[in-house]
Structure formats: C-alpha cells, structure tokens
Structure 1
Amino acid sequence: MEAADEMVQTDEPESHSGAFKMKERLQKRHKARLEDVERRKEARENQSVAKESVDYFFSTFHGERAAVEELLCGCLGADEKAVAQRLEEATSKTVQMQKFLNDSMVFLTTYDQRKAQMALQKLQTCLNETREQAMPKKKFGFRARTKASSATAEDSVVSAPADHSAAQVDGDPAGAQCGFSNMSDMVLVKTAEDIQKEDVLLSYLSNCKVRLYGAPSTLHLKHIDRCEILCGPVSTSVFVDHCESSTLAVACQQLRTHNTKDTFVYLHVTSRAIVEDCHGISFAPYSWSYPNLDEDFRAAGLDAKQNNWELVDDFNWLAAGTPSPNWTVMPEADRKTTWDP
C-alpha cells in the first residue's frame, strides 16, 4: 500500500511536467506558424509592389516608344518644317525615356533593363536614320527665317508684332507657325479656319486670355504665366512646358506636362496624362463648350465619351500604391463650368 501511494505521488509531478512541456511545444509551434504566415504575407506584398512597379514602367515605356514611332512615321512625305518639329519632339521623348529607365533601375531585373535599353537603342537608330533621310546634311537652323523685327524672349515677355503670328523663339518647335508669341495682357482668338489640322504654338504669354476654336493637329505651350487658355479638340498631343499660375482647358490623345506649377487643367484625354518636374497641378474634366464642339471632336478623331482625365502618371513619383504629391483632383465645388459671358 505504501509503495502504491509512493508511486502515485511520484507520477503526479511527472504528469504535470509533461503537460507543461507539451503546452510549451504547442505554443512555440503556433508562434512559428504565425511568423511563417507573416513572412509569406510580407513576401507576397513585396512581390506585388515590385510587379506593379515593373508593370507601370513597361506600360509607360511602351506608350512613349509608340509615340516616338508615330512621330517618325509622320515624317514621311511631310514638309521640311513639319519634319523638323517631329524630329525635335522625338528626340526630346527619347531623352526622357532614357531618364525614366535610369530612374527605374532599382526595381528592374537585369533582363528587363537590357530589354528596355535595346529598345531605346533601336529607337535612337531609327531616329538617326529618319533624320538623315528627311533632312540630309542639314541642321535645325531656322532662326534666320525669323523677321528681324521679332523679339526673342529669354525670361520676360515682350510685345509681339501686330499681326499676332507666332514668332520663332529659342526652344520652340521650328515647324509651328500658327499661334501667338511674346504678348501680355491681351485677349487672343484663333478660329477653326485658322488652326484646323495645324500645329499651334503659344509661347511667352503673360496674363492673356486665349481661345482656340477648332481641331489643331498639335498644341505646344511654352513659358506661359497667369494665362487662361481654352482649346478645342487636338488630334494628337498637347505639350506643356514652363507654365505657371494658369488655367488650361484641352482635349487630346496625349497630354505631357513639364516644369509646370500651380496650374489648373480641365482635361479630356483618351490615353493617360503625364507630368514631370511639376508641382501643384489640379485636374478636372474638360468643361469648355462652344458651337460646333461635337463636330471638332469628330474632326480630331477623339472619342467624346472616353475621358481619362483623372489617370495621371507622374514620372517623378514611382512609389506604387501611394498617390503623387505633385498633382490632385480638383474638388467639384471649385470647378469652373462657365467660361465666357
């Protein structure tokens, strides 16, 4: 009997100890399982972010490449001035593509880097061949064509000739002869007959109101300060560079905005808008209206029902899933709907 009691007393602590150890092992196993689940979740999230970055890169890169190829194809059969403009645009885009690739190296694989670089080299070769074929033994020397009386603007706005034709200024497309340059404190208007299928250039304008009725081929805005510029549907692209404290209303296939700040953009775009080196840009849907607007949309080949005004790619902001701080959507209460009396 005493032996039996002694055995019971001995087994009880051993049983307690075994249960404790079992519980401890289960807790450790559960903790390890939770940690493994967390690691897997984090790995999936990192993989997803990387994939989004790569997808964004190639989507933008291929879009830019297609735009350059389209510009080069348009050189065939075009006049010398139009060719010069297209080649300048193509060169600028190619430089921006290289910068975009360089900035994206941190998340691209070696294979993806090599593939993008080869595509760029091929594009550059095509650009050089097109330049040699379309403009043999010539350079962009169009400054001599400018009238001696035309003023060249560097950092300030100068009064322009009374005929309101676009004067050639440094850095402006050589082929764009339709538009306004070097003006301030004026109301400027072009009719559909003036700009239909033309390349329009607005440069060095200050505190002006501009109305462009009709469907131009392209629209270039350079060095615009405190202006209100409203334009009918543009067949291809709108290029904005060095625009400040202004309001724009444009409809186009592509919008590319550089070096611009504190500007409102009322936009109709059928692809995606691109901003770079910009700050304080606010977007809203295109709201300017005038007689024959629907007809001009058809003439420009734009789908009036397809508007991606809120889809904006910022080349200076590659953080997937985090909104760019350089542009915002304009609150509905602040949007302008009535433009002219």
Structure 2
Amino acid sequence: MDATHEVSREPGGFAGESGADKIQERLQKRHQARAEDAERRKEAKESMSVAEEKGEYFSTSFNTERASIEELLSSCSGADRAVVTPRLEEATAKTLQLQKFLNDSMLFLTQYELRRAQAALQKLQSSIVEIREEAQPRKKFTFRARTKATDKVSDAPSPEADTPADSGGNKVDGAAESVQCRFSDLDNVCLTKTAEEIQKRDVLLTHLSNCKVRLFGSPSTLHLKHIDSCEILCGPVSSSVFIDHCTNSTLAMPCQQLRTHNTTDTKVYLHVTSRAIIEDCHGVSFAPFSWSYPTLEEDFDLSGLDRDRNNWSQVDDFNWLAAGTHSPNWTVIPEADRKTTWDP
C-alpha cells in the first residue's frame, strides 16, 4: 500500500505552491509598490512645478495690471474733471477684473501671496475713492430716517455732512469722509437707501447703534465702522466690504471680499466669492446669505458676482496660524439657529 503524502499548506498560500513561487510573488508586489510610489512622487513633483509656474504667471500678470491701473490713477492728478471721470471708470473696471483674476487664482496661491495681492487691491480701491472724491465737489447730503415708533419718513441733514466721523483723520478704512452714500451718528432708527441712490457708489456707515439698515442695489464698496447692536442688510457689493469695531450686530451681504477687524459677538450672513478675513475678532459667526428682495437677481447681475461660488464658511483668521486647528475666534451658525426671514 502506497504511503499517503500530506500536501503542505501555509497561511495565505495555495496547495502545492512552492517556496520559489511565493518569493516571486512577493518580489512582484514589492516592485509594483515601488513603481506606484515612484509614479506618485513624479506626479507630486510635476504638480508642484505646475503650481510654481502658475504662481509666477499670476505674480507677473497681477503686477503688470496693477502698475497699469496705478499709472492710470496717477494721470488723474491735476487733470480736468472731464478727463478724470472716464479714467476713473476705466480704473474701476480694471480693478474689478483684477479682483476676479485673484479670486480665480486662489487655489494655487500661498497665504503670503494671497495677502499681498489683497492688500494691493485694497490700496487701489482706496486710491480710486480718494481721487473720485477730490474730483467731485462735496454736496450737502440728506437721508431718510424712519423711526420705529411713528414709521414715518422724514428728511434731515446728516450730522456728518460737513464734519468728519473720526477726528484727526480724513478716511475710514480707505473710504473718503465725503463719500456721498452714508449714514452716521444715529441711534434707534430704521434707515433705507434705494438702488438709485446706491448703484455703483461707495457706501459708508459709521457710529450707528440700535439701527436697522436696508441697502438696496449694488454698491462698489461697503465700509462699516463703530457699529453697535445693529441689523444691516445690503445688496451685492461688487468689490469689498470692510468692517471695523462692530459689536453685537447682525449683518448680511454678498461681496467679492470681506475684511473684518476688531469685531465681537456679530453674526454675518455671507455670500463671498473669495475668502473672508478676520483680524482681532472673537465671537464672530457665519452662515450663508439669506436676505432677499424683489430686484436681488438684477443687482447680482450688475455686481458681476458669481452666484454659484460662495465661500461663506472659508474664513482666514490672521491671528490664528495653527495649521490644522480651527480658530476659536469664529464659528458656523447651526442651521437650526440661522435666520431665514427678515422684517421689511
């Protein structure tokens, strides 16, 4: 009777599989893993090279266009008003295009490059405002104030029509003090500006407390300074919103860029096509823009903002540089707590 030979079986092996076959299989797997790792390193290197090339292209193109705008603004110095006006319009259009170019390039820019470009844009926007105000004579400004008690509309001269809001200076975050669209030094009133009053102008709100403000239309820029316990709703801002010293308030606005300083306990309902920036802030919370009014779509078209791009929850805190850790200075408003209906 023939002896019965047992078939050797090893974990993970096949019946009758020789040691040489298993060694060959392991070598093949190791070779494949090395090849895949080499391919990943190659792709990463190529991706880095592409990013560097894109960064160089952005820097060259951005600086060239910025210099062109600066030269255009410089040519306004000493020129007649008839000459300054079209040059300012051209500079404004070019600045908006430069802002769009920056927004489209954000994915491959470093934080340093992004901050430098944003600072350069802010400087251009401030220069445009200053030159526009120098070229236009200051006008006596009136506003409509509607008190909650009487709900009546009355015209009254702005307390700040002939005096600066901040003594010792002639600008508020880059906005000229003589900017025509503004509300200043008011308490416990309802304030409204129509699209016709606002369209493509710079709007300044300063030293307001316990006020409800409705800004229809599409401003060029919006500046908020020294705001306390207010509700401010604004139509699409074609470029930037600047906020400084705001507390215990609710704000809603679409814009290309948001910069917020020295702000506490404030809710922001936001549509922003770049990224929001906060500095020296705490207790600031964000949610998607939810205010609506009959001509909102038309104002979005006029502003040039992309309705499909909203980075409301992507916030850069310049006081919090810990990578991978969320800043404690801002939060997202829970869906259940978000405001979706607004009083007229």
Normalised TM-score (structure 2)? 0.56
Change (3 A) 1:77 1:272: farther
Change (3 A) 1:248 1:69: farther
Cross-structure match for 1:255: 258
User: 1:276 aligns to what?
Assistant: 279
Separation (CA, whole Å) in 1 of partners of 2:316 and 2:207 = 26
Please state how far the C-alpha of 1:165 moved relative to its aligned partner: 7.9
Give 2:165's match in structure 1, choosing from 169, 172, 178: 169
Amino acid of the structure 2 residue aligned with 1:169: A
> What aligned pairs does 1:271-310 form with structure 2 within 5 A after superposition?
271-310=274-313
Q: Percent identity?
A: 60
Q: Partners of 1:77 and 1:291 in 2: how far apart?
A: 41
Offset at residue 146 of structure 1 (A) = 9.5
Identify if the C-alpha distance between structure 1 residues 294 and 331 changes in structure 2 by more than 3 Å, giving closer, same or farther.
Answer: same
Aligned-partner Cα distance in 1 for 2:241–2:188: 23
1:229, distance to aligned residue in structure 2 (A): 0.1
Rounded to whole Å, the distance in 2 between the matches of 1:317 and 1:74 is: 37
8 Å contact 2:186–2:211 — kept in the other structure? yes
Number of aligned residues: 226
Distance in 2 (CA, whole Å) between partners of 1:74 and 1:252 is 25
The 2-side partners of 1:313 and 1:247 are apart by 20
Secondary structure of the structure 2 residue equivalent to 1:215? coil
2:217 to 214, 217, 228: 214
1:194 aligns with 2:197: yes
CA distance in 2, matches of 1:77, 1:334: 51
* CA deviation profile, 1:265-315 (whole Å, cap 9, x unmatched): 000000000000000000000000000101100000011121110000000
Distance 1:247 1:74, change over 3 A: farther
Q: CA deviation at 1:164?
A: 4.2
Note if contact 1:256-1:274 (Cα within 8 Å) is conserved in structure 2. Answer: yes
Is 1:246 paired with 2:249?
yes
Deviation at 1:75, TM superposition (A): 3.4
Q: Helix, strand or coil: the match of 1:201?
A: strand
TM-superposition CA deviations, 1:41-99 (whole Å, max 9, x none):
xxxxxxxxxx9xxx9xx9xxx8xx88x9498478367778998xx9xxxxxxxxxxxxx
Corresponding residue to 1:178 among 181, 185, 188: 181
Q: Quote the offset at 1:191 in angstroms.
A: 0.3
Q: Secondary structure of the equivalent of 1:297?
A: helix
Residue pair 1:166, 1:202 contacting (<8 A) in 2 also: no
Is the CA contact 1:266–1:283 (under 8 Å) kept in the aligned structure 2? yes
Q: Secondary structure at 1:265's aligned position in 2?
A: strand
CA contact (8 A) 2:159 2:185 kept: no
Q: Distance in 1 between matches of 2:271 and 2:160?
A: 26
Q: Give the gaps of 5 or more residues in structure 2.
A: 1-47, 92-109, 141-154
Q: Say if 1:166 and 1:178, in contact at 8 Å, map to a contact too.
A: no
Rounded Cα–Cα distance in structure 2 between residues aligned with 1:210 and 1:74: 35
| Aligned partner letter, 1:182 | D
Name the larger-Rg structure: 1
Identify if the C-alpha distance between structure 1 residues 199 and 324 changes in structure 2 by more than 3 Å, giving closer, same or farther: same
What pairs with 1:30-109 in structure 2 (closer than 5 Å)? 69=66, 72=70, 75=73
1:11-26 alignment runs, 5 A limit: none
Matches of 1:204 and 1:293, distance apart in 2 = 27
- 1:162: Cα distance to partner? 1.6
Deviation of the 1:163 alpha carbon? 3.2
* CA drift at 1:179: 1.5
Say whether 1:320 aligns with 2:314.
no
Distance 1:141 1:307, change over 3 A: closer
TM-score of the superposed pair, with normalisation by structure 1: 0.57
How far apart are 1:176 and its partner, in Å? 2.3
Contact preservation (8 Å) 2:139, 2:180: no
1:205 corresponds to: 208
